[in-house]
Homo-oligomer: A and B are copies of this chain.
Amino acid sequence: MSLTDEQRAEIEAQRGTSSPTRRASVPALEAMLYRAIPVLDHGFVRVIDYMGDDGAVVQSARVSYGRGTRRTSEDAGLIRYLMRHRHTTPFEMCEIKYHVKLPIFVARQWIRHRTASVNEYSARYSILDREFYIPAPAHLAAQSVVNRQGRGDVLQGDEAAQVLDLLRDDAARCHHHYVEMLNEGADGAAVDPARQGLARELARMNLTLNTYTQWYWKIDLHNLLHFLSLRLDTHAQHEIRVYAEAMLATVEAWVPATCAAFRDYRLGAVTFSAGMLAVLRRMLTGEQVAQPSSGLSKREWAEMMGALGREG
């Protein structure tokens, strides 16, 4: 992660101030507040602000005048009930805001979730830093031969070295030319007085998709959990999953009861189709069912056996 000294100082200054509030407050999340959690080679996630806690979920489910909470076990039970039966609106009552630094190709996936508020650093107004994502050798995966969208083995030897060289050189050269076309010095004056400098909003098109950008991203707890359930999935691309993992840790600190229910009823849960259920019932009577007689396609059969921890 590459924060400048000035940025670190700004963050610590903000951490240093404290004020009293009548609002619900979560010490475990306060402890994390503003600090950057490193992700990938130059990225980070940091919590900037939040509203509500596990109690706020309970409180709004009960439309209460006061805190609305009772014994911790009762509250956790209500939260589990709401999660299981997809009563989602009480989870919308908590809100969190992140500052995220991430490669542009990850940002493009991320932004497909439309139920959040975003303010991105603008390359129309400002100049992007010379920072690109270069995969660690362990994540330099080959195209999967069985799955059009998946990753296969990790590249080795010459091929790996060559790929890393290409990625580094192209990103660096493109950024170098970006700066050259802009022709802007630190003081805003032209570097080469004989040139006008290309408009920022045009010059940015020369950057590669692994260039880092950053944004403020604000979302309610329900929609955050939905985002996380999709992006923590094994089918999600590694480069976005690591952001989701960093955010899951903040959710754990923030709303522990909700997070536990989320792990049980979403992350660790499996949905069986009507067809799969019919197979399951036969299996539970002791019948040996095989794919050809199951009524399921090969792919569905494999998914079902996987969920049950069985060999197909």
Contact = CB atoms under 8 A, between A and B. Distances in A.
Query: How extensive is the interface on chain A, given as a class?
Result: 35 or more
A166 B170 contact: no
Contacts of A149: 122, 124-125, 200-201
A55 to B, nearest CB: 11
B166 A180 contact: yes
B201 A151 contact: yes
Contact of A51 (B9, B84, B97): B97
B273 A61 contact: no
A119 B105 contact: no
Chain A's interface: helix, strand, loop or mixed, by majority?
A: mixed
A92 to B, nearest CB: 4
Interface stretch (A64-72, A242-250, A251-259): A64-72
Residue among A93, A140, A153, A235 with the most chain B CB within 10 A?
A93
Nearest to A165: B177
Contacts of A141: 198-199, 202
A159 B196 contact: yes
A303 B269 CA distance: 15
Given A269-B276, A277-B308, 7 more contacts: A19-B25, A52-B97, A63-B99, A63-B119, A141-B199, A170-B173, A207-B209
